[in-house]
Structure 1
Amino acid sequence: MIGVALLGIIRRWHFHHQVPLREIARRLGISRNTVRRHLRAETTGPSYTERRSSSVLDKHSV
């Protein structure tokens, strides 16, 4: 999985510095398809699922 910092680098190089996808992939050592997929994604960061388990303190909360 790609981290937030790496995603920021990819987006900055592509949108601000107009670095080609192939060059971004070569510099970072990742696949061109990975670079393309993250640039096409609408989200700018990872999404996490909501926690479903109950807390130990839930029974004491009012």
Structure 2
Amino acid sequence: MCVTQSAVSHQVRHLEEWLDRPLFDRSGTRPRLLPEAEDLARVAALSLDGITAACERLGKRPAAGRW
């Protein structure tokens, strides 16, 4: 995605602040997605798949790895 780990971490923190809730359980050695975050990720992936399909129907394919 051409983004640093630090940039992703900052965006996750901003999203958590905006949602006013954590997305990860950070109590262990590795962060683990909370159930609500898993649901959000699933819905976001479906939405991006829908956008990709609509673009393909219009004859334009998003760049590989774009989503």
Q: TM-score, normalised by structure 2?
A: 0.28
Higher strand share: 2
Q: TM-score, normalised by structure 1?
A: 0.30
- Higher Rg: 1
The one of the two structures with greater contact order (alpha-carbon pairs below 8 A, sep at least 6) is 1
